[in-house]
């Protein structure tokens, strides 16, 4: 398989996971699509290096985090007003939205470094060694960040189920 074909297969297989990781990192769905696209563009331009990496996924997730950090430094990510509103009905997904909102709020309460560790370890399902490689820190630091983050999430009021309303 040539480089373009190999990259296309890799990108197609990882697209959804990269978008979902962007959302879990705090992006809107649209921003997560942009983040995944930017990451894969950088990945394509450096494909010969990426394909030689010992752990391709860890290398690409490092690129994703770098793109995410760069985008947050450069641009304001607030609301964008619009003059037209969608006129189609939206199905009731209140329960799903409430759960997603609770998780997002709980993750927002984590420090950025702890949030990155949680996303890479538990959402992207990278090993602790891979997370250490992506974040360029010692494996022991990964373990301590994850320990603190999990303890903070366990005690987070957004995730504690209250009485039904």
Which CA distances in Å does 65 have to 2, 61, 145? 27, 6, 17
- Sort 118 into a burial class: Cβ within 10 Å, 0-12 / 13-18 / 19+: buried
Question: Mean pLDDT for the chain?
Answer: 87
CATH class of the domain defined by 94-154: mainly alpha
Calculate what percentage of the chain has a pLDDT beyond 70.
88
Residue-wise pLDDT tens digits, 75-103? 565 656 677 766 666 677 788 888 888 88
Cβ neighbours around 97 below 10 Å, total: 10
pLDDT at residue number 127? 94
pLDDT at residue number 76? 60
Q: Which pTM was predicted?
A: 0.61
Domain range summary for the chain, segments of one domain joined by +: 3-74, 94-154
pLDDT at residue number 39? 95
CA distance 32 to 54: 26
Residue 15 pLDDT exceeds 90: yes
CATH of the domain spanning 3-74, picked from 1.20.140, 3.60.21, 1.10.1740, 1.10.3470: 1.10.1740
CA distance 107 to 24: 8
Residue-wise pLDDT tens digits, 40-74? 999 999 999 998 999 999 999 999 999 998 887 75
pLDDT at residue number 85? 67
pLDDT at residue number 9? 94
Band of residue 163 on the pLDDT scale cut at 50, 70, 90:
very low
Band of residue 117 on the pLDDT scale cut at 50, 70, 90:
very high
pLDDT at residue number 81? 66
């Amino acid at each position: 398989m040539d480089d373009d074909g190999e990259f296309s297969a890799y990108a197609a297989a990882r697209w959804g996971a990269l978008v979902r990781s962007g959302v879990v990192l705090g992006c809107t769905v649209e921003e997560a699509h942009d983040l995944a696209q930017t990451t894969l563009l950088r990945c394509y331009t450096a494909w010969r290096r990426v394909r030689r990496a010992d752990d391709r996924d860890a290398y690409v997730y490092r690129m994703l985090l770098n793109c995410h950090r760069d985008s947050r430094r450069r641009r304001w990510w607030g609301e964008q007003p619009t003059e037209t509103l969608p006129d189609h009905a939206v199905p009731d997904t209140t329960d799903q939205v409430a759960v997603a909102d609770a998780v997002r709020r709980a993750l927002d309460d984590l420090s950025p470094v702890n949030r990155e560790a949680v996303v890479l370890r538990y959402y992207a399902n990278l090993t602790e060694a891979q997370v250490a490689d992506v974040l360029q820190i010692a494996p022991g630091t990964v373990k301590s960040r994850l320990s603190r983050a999990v303890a903070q999430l366990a005690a987070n009021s957004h995730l504690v189920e209250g009485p039904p309303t």
